[in-house]
Amino acid sequence: MDAIRWVQDLPFSTWIRESSWAVFTFLILHMWGLALLVGGSALVALRNFGFAKTIEPALFKRFTPVMWTGFVLALISGLLLLMAYPAKHLTNPVFAVKFAFLIAGALLTRRLLNGSGSLRLTAAAVLLAWAGVIACGDLLKYTNTVLLVY
Amino acid sequence: MDIETIAQFGHDSGLYALLHTKYGWPIAEIIHFMSVGVLFASVGMLDLRLMGVAKALPVRPLARLVPFGVAAFIVNLATGFAFFVNAPDQYAYNPAFQLKMATIGIAGLNMIAFYALAAKGAHATGPGEDAPPIARLIAGVSLAAWLTVIIFGRLLTYFRPPWHWCAWC
């Protein structure tokens, strides 16, 4: 808890909370990250369900930079929001579940990109993982119990 | 149709009650955001390909995925409609919402322009080939429009009536 207080009381964290534009700007970047990362990954999943099947699955690796861009955008904006409100998120089990889904989504997407043929089950698991990330991310707004700062 | 009538419809249709159940609002939001992901999976990634990203992929098979984007947009429209009738004054008088709708309108007109002027040449773009300039332009407008829709979608929850903050309020 001391570490959490130290982070939230940093001048930069305080600035994020008090700035008139920082929080919504980071949330916009977070949603852009979602669009590029989940968008790219869901496209790969669709290919593995048998759509656009005239395209070799391995060719979808060309969208990897798009997914990385989305991931980095979401990660940086997410870390900035976490700095502003560390207690709110780090004390919420939903936040841990979100990360479990995130790791699953990333690893399973990599498996789709490196696999061959139609990996339907893996593709379904990828979509489920992103659904979990989005659901947990949204629920963070409603399920927090500890709020040390506003 | 005035705001009162729409608000009354929100109550009479049960949409207001539905959103105000314990998990009604978050579930509607989660569906709204998942659909953003599907929209970008089809339309967004197609736009990027036409703009020159992942050029190794032929365009025609990717373009066949557009119906997924249309379906996702309809889901977004449905969840958005539920939000709107729940508190129409919070949206109708909200400049961010007005700009969001205008941007969706631009994206729609842009899509019509694509099928009228650019689809034929775009679809014929094979692996490693550049899409025709008109298709690249329209794809750029499309991607920019959808990213802007996200901006206004976020802003509309932050700058709400009755705080008037725009030139035409």
The model's pLDDT over A97-140, given as tens digits with 9 standing for 90+, comes to: 999 999 999 999 999 999 876 799 999 999 999 999 999 999 99
Closest chain B residue to the Cα of A130, Cα to Cα? B34
CB contact under 8 A, A39 and B41: yes
Say whether residue A68 is in contact with chain B using an 8 A CB cutoff: no
Spell out, as residue ranges, where chain A has pLDDT lower than 70. 117
| Closest chain B residue by Cα to residue A41 | B41
CB contact A15 to B (< 8 Å): no
Distance from CA of A2 to the nearest CA of B (A): 31
- Do A38 and B41 make contact, defined as CB atoms within 8 angstroms? yes
Q: Is residue A110 part of a domain?
A: yes
The pair of structure tokens assigned to B137 is 């332009």
Please report whether residue A130 resides in a domain: yes
Name which of B55, B72, B105, B127 is nearest A39 in CA terms: B72
Q: Would the CB atoms of A24 and B158 count as touching at under 8 Å? A: yes
Distance of alpha carbon B23 from alpha carbon B31, whole angstroms? 12
Cβ-Cβ contacts under 8 Å for B33 (sequence gap 6 or more): A31, A34, A134, A137, A138
Number of structural domains (chain A) is: 1
Structure tokens at A122: 């893996």
Distances (CA, A) of B118 to B39, B49, B134, B136: 20, 14, 6, 9
Q: What is the pLDDT of residues B111-164, one digit of tens each?
A: 999 999 999 999 999 999 999 999 999 999 999 999 999 999 999 998 888 776
Say what the pLDDT of residue B25 is.
97
Q: Which of residues 37-56 of A touch B (CB under 8 A)?
A: 38-43, 45-46, 51-55
With 80 as the cut, is the pLDDT of residue B165 above it? no
How far is residue A134's CA from residue A10's CA, in Å, rounded to a whole number? 29
- What pLDDT is recorded for position B2? 87
Record: contact B58-A55, CB cut-off 8 A: yes
Minimal Cβ distance to A35: which of B29, B37, B127: B37
**Residues of chain A with C-beta less than 8 angstroms from the C-beta of B129:** none
Determine if residue B54 is left, alpha or beta; phi over 0 gives left, psi from -120 to 50 gives alpha, anything else beta.
left
With 0-12 / 13-18 / 19 or more C-beta atoms within 10 angstroms meaning exposed / middle / buried, residue A105 is: buried
Position of tokens 């709107």?
B84
Average pLDDT for chain B: 95
Residue B58 distance to chain A (closest CA, Å): 7
Q: How far is CA A133 from CA A36, A126, A129, B150, in A?
A: 14, 11, 6, 18
Q: Name which of B33, B43, B31, B96 is nearest B68 in CA terms.
A: B43
Taking CB atoms and an 8 Å cutoff, what residues of chain B touch A28? 150-151, 154-155
CA distance B87 to chain A (A): 20
Range of the domain at A59: 2-143
Q: What is the pLDDT of residue A117?
A: 65
Taking only the tens place, the pLDDT of each residue in B2-51 is 899 999 999 999 999 999 999 999 999 999 999 999 999 999 999 999 99
